[in-house]
Amino acid sequence: MKELISITSFASVSALGSDPEKIWENYLNNHHFLTLKEFDDFKTWVAQLTDQDKHAIEDVKNSDNKYKNLDPSVLYTLFVARKAMEQTNWKASDNFGINIGSSRGATSLFEKYHKEFLATGKSSTLSSPTTTLGNISSWIAHDLQSNGPEISHSITCSTGLHSLLNGVAWLQSGMSEKFMIGASEASLTDFTIAQMQALKVYSKENDEYPCKAFDLNKTKNTMVLGEAASVFCLEKGTKENALAFIEGVGYATEVLKHNTSVTTDAECFQKSMKMALGTISPDEIDAIVMHAPGTIKGDQSEINAIQKVFCNKTPFLTTNKWKLGHTFGASGLLSLELAVLMLQHQQVVEVPFAEPQQTPKKLNKILVNAVGFGGNAVSVLITK
């Protein structure tokens, strides 16, 4: 990277809540925030937003008559984008860019309108504009009155960190001085979960921890879906109000042998982590927030990649999916949020059922990983 990128604010909403202090408090306990939800034909584990946040998002929905027909994925992002803006000195006249991605997009509305079409042979007037992927970024721009570029994309589970890559590219190109990046996922529908169950990756556990992300001794896949949205405000250079700095980014795609898997040693992760490190010694990395989806092959392949890159000195490893579920496109940014919080509080967050690790004396550089179907990996290096 040409120069550091400042993270000047961030906001999220997930099963852990939406208040940064409460989120950190929830990270420090050994409880998960997964609940059993009844669907039409089955009951399974999910990570839902809190009732308090759902009420607040309902207020957002009612704040503008045009918002009443929007998908939850858009409303979640409106909620957190407003929160992030409150923490900055940004103005609409700054022409900041916006890049919000989503793996599944307007899941609820798409399924609703499709059922309607199958039943009646007709489609509602607003079915198209409210289900297009780009409507997340465009509605955020409308709500914040931004005049800068708007980008939307879907790159499976690494969507959020690809938003960050795009933001960094725009800032370093000189075409923008400020960029809001983010991702949103509102995919807790029966059809979406049925798709994951069909892949044989969804959790059927009934013990203390339904999702065993980073448990390398598990004998079953234990992925659990969650809903969430997260945004970060990025600025070019080193700003005095920066919460953390982006020091390196890396990305890679590997040739697939199967639609949903990566190689045993996750070659894409090896390449993305090495690229993010650049000339920095692997010994300088204090911790890694892993992707670790809770599947047998997914967790192990990432560990293998980390061991290949870091050899005999593996940094402290952690993940948050056992606690707040796999939030698809938003997952990488929730991992980034965890990394920033650990830097701020100078404290690691342990996975209660994982093998004990040596705790670093200080946290200065943390690596964040994400990978998605298609073998596309992204790694981001942040520092104090």
Measured CA to CA, the distance from residue 86 to residue 8 in angstroms comes to: 11
Alpha helices in 145-243 (DSSP H): 159-173, 190-198
Cα distance between the two ends of the chain? 16
Q: What three-state secondary structure class fits 236?
A: strand
- The neighbouring-strand residues paired with 47 are 226
Measured CA to CA, the distance from residue 305 to residue 273 in angstroms comes to: 9
One-letter amino acid for residue 363 of the chain: L
pLDDT, one tens digit per residue, over 132-161 is 888 999 999 999 999 899 999 999 999 999
Q: How far is CA 94 from CA 148, 175, 177, 178, in A?
A: 8, 12, 9, 8
Measured CA to CA, the distance from residue 217 to residue 136 in angstroms comes to: 39
Measured CA to CA, the distance from residue 108 to residue 104 in angstroms comes to: 10
Percent of the chain with pLDDT over 70: 98
Tokens of 171: 């800032």
Tokens of 117: 């079409």
Alpha helices in 72-134 (DSSP H): 72-86, 107-120
- The neighbouring-strand residues paired with 97 are 179
One-letter amino acid for residue 140 of the chain: I
| pLDDT tops 80 at residue 269 | yes
User: What pLDDT is recorded for position 239?
Assistant: 95
- Indicate the DSSP class of residue 383: E
What contacts 361, CB < 8 A, 6 or more positions away?
Answer: none
| pLDDT tops 90 at residue 287 | yes
| pLDDT tops 70 at residue 261 | no
Tokens of 263: 């190689």
One-letter amino acid for residue 305 of the chain: A
Other residues' Cβ atoms within 10 Å of the Cβ of residue 61: 17
pLDDT, one tens digit per residue, over 304-363 is 999 999 987 899 999 999 999 999 999 999 999 999 999 999 999 999 999 999 999 999
User: What pLDDT is recorded for position 149?
Assistant: 93
Q: Is 195 exposed, middle or buried (0-12, 13-18, 19+ CB in 10 A)?
A: middle
Contact status, residue 277 vs residue 41, Cβ threshold 8 Å: no
Poorest-pLDDT segment among 45-49, 210-214, 263-267, 299-303: 263-267
Q: How far is CA 304 from CA 68, 273, 274, 299, in A?
A: 47, 13, 14, 9
Question: Mutual orientation of helices 20-27 and 331-345 as an angle, nearest 10°?
Answer: 90
The residue whose two tokens read 């059993």 is 36
Give the pLDDT band of residue 97 (cuts 50, 70, 90): very high
What contacts 291, CB < 8 A, 6 or more positions away?
Answer: 157, 298, 302, 319, 331, 332, 335, 369, 370, 371
Q: How far is CA 118 from CA 51, 131, 188, in A?
A: 32, 17, 21
| pLDDT tops 70 at residue 128 | yes
